[in-house]
Amino acid sequence: MPDDTTKIETSTQSVTEQLDALFAPWRRTDEPGLVVGVVKDGALLYRRAFGMASLELAVANTPTTRMRIGSISKHFTCLLALLLAEDGKFDLDVPIRTYIPELAGPGGEPTARQLMQHRGGSRCYLDLGFIGQGLSRPPLGYSLKAQVRQQGRNFAPGEAMIYNNGGYHLVSIALERVGGAPFEDQLKTRLFDPVGMPDTASVPTDHDITPGVATFHMPRRNGRWRRGLVWTDELRGEGAIISTVDDMLRWMAHLRRRDRFGSSSTWAQLTERPVYADGSMGAYALGLMVGKYRGLNTVQHSGGVAGGTAQMLLLPNDGLDVFMMANGARDAALVRLSTQVVDIVLADRVGPETPKVAAEDYKPWLGDWWSPETRMVYSLLDQEGSLALGTAMSGVGGILERTDDGRLIEPASGIGEVEVTTGPGAALTIRFGAVAADYERLAASPADAAAFAAAAVGTYFSHDADATATITAEGDALTIRTSNGLGELTAPLIPLSANVAYSKPGSLLAQFRTTISLQTDNGRATGFHLHTPRTRDLEFRRI
């Protein structure tokens, strides 16, 4: 790759100027930033670095800076699985316990393909860890043990889709066992080396020093920053890869050529979209999301770690590849920035944007809703004027769309398709997977909040989380503290009705909210079910 952006003609120069203007907010020396690469029709169009790689050492980002690409790692894992299947060593369509017999419970039932398409239904070790220990670092082996312990699950394999990093961790273990070499070495010898990616590696931990990797930064108050670190020492196929823009552009070029390894069947499976149990077409193939942007076909995936984000976007029919990664660039929404690059480079090709559903048209239904059948809380939100659907009081929702046949849906992406139906009065029905349920509005009165507190205060235990939860009251304020012995998470508990509440952690886990629904007997809770956007019906029983 050349050291600077190639400038060859007036039209390209104009595009370069527009891209420079797009990324100008991060051209500074007092904050972390990002690195961007754009290729059009095989020619390098844009390659720039912005901001600092390390505020601590006053080192700037460069086009050769290495960063974590997070969940973009997932399609590399899928491709390795497909190559081992070509060798006759791995079968994507048998239960994962074929290779990990320790998974004697329901977590052993999904196939590798279901796990890699997030359709396995198992619970994720990352979610379970956040619930039980916050951001405390777990010991080696925790990730597998947490999934072996599960007696419950989010749904039966194949019935729905919820994004699940734990499934990829299991697949990584299986590939290591059948491949005859460490998982990280197999990625290097079978994928990175043949494509010529010398600065790319799968790195399980941030606690060991890896040369050339930017510091990940998390903003704090008063202009201060906190170092971002992966909170486990055994990150694998779910998100462990570090790379550079140059290496990733080489990789994206190979995703087009497909000439170094792999059969035509392997490459076809990588982007084959699944059909869900409800008949809807999924966007998540094998580690890659297949869809459209303003009428143009796209293949993409984003990634996120503590203090860092990344985005890979290919437009297969338009010769455009966009890759960018950030180490804490403030207000840098890389997914949106990547589509803004498309708007600039393909200005004469993009069609109209997908019409948004106006939140104003659904004003009577805005708010929080709960179903006694599913015990889930959904929220209809006004998100910058657009109607959005939030899950488990997450605070941020997925933008809803109107289908050609008039249905109101959150399209399948990080979660399977969710359909919202409004009826007369205050009736609301929500369908996820093949299950549709009626939801009732939540609005806690002072009496409801008092009733919840009176019923809930006490101590509970969850077998599947291997964690204790203690709910305490101080005046009108409730607190929930969960701990699995490795750490703890303490958060305010806010009633939404007489038997439903949500927790709102502060600091680094502010976005990791949970909802709980009490099971009561004579006004006293005997237990509760906990939900997050990615964990369903985790049971705690009073002790």
Q: Say which range, 6-15, 139-148, 229-238, 394-403, has the weakest mean pLDDT.
A: 6-15
The whole-angstrom separation of Cα 92 and Cα 119 is 13
DSSP state of 464: T
Q: Say which range, 64-68, 326-330, 408-412, has the weakest mean pLDDT.
A: 408-412
Q: Say which range, 375-384, 418-427, 505-514, has the weakest mean pLDDT.
A: 505-514
pLDDT one-digit tens code per residue, 254-279: 999 999 999 999 999 999 999 877 77
**Residue 443 pLDDT grade (very low, low, confident, very high; cuts 50, 70, 90):** confident
Residue 288 has pLDDT above 90, yes or no: yes
Contact 450, 475 (CB under 8 A): no
The whole-angstrom separation of Cα 119 and Cα 113 is 8
Supply the Cα-derived Rg of the chain in whole angstroms. Answer: 24
If one counts every other C-beta atom within 10 angstroms of the C-beta of residue 421, the result is 13
Architecture of domain 446-542: Beta Barrel (2.40)
At CA 291, angle to CA 290 and CA 297, rounded to 5?
100
Domain ranges in the chain? 359-442, 446-542
Question: Do 359-442 and 446-542 fold alike per CATH?
Answer: yes
CATH, domain 359-442, list 3.90.1150, 2.40.128, 3.30.70, 3.40.50: 2.40.128
pLDDT one-digit tens code per residue, 290-301: 999 999 999 999
DSSP state of 517: E
The whole-angstrom separation of Cα 51 and Cα 307 is 14
Q: Span 455-460, mean pLDDT?
A: 97
pLDDT number for residue 415:
82
Residue 507 has pLDDT above 70, yes or no: no
Q: Span 358-366, mean pLDDT?
A: 94
Pairing of strands 367-370, 435-442: antiparallel
The whole-angstrom separation of Cα 423 and Cα 439 is 11
The whole-angstrom separation of Cα 57 and Cα 137 is 26
Q: Span 439-450, mean pLDDT?
A: 92
pLDDT one-digit tens code per residue, 477-501: 999 999 999 999 999 999 999 999 9
Percent of the chain surpassing pLDDT 70: 97
Q: Which of 438, 403, 435, 393 is nearest to 416 (CA)?
A: 435
pLDDT number for residue 275:
85
Mean pLDDT of the residues in the chain? 93
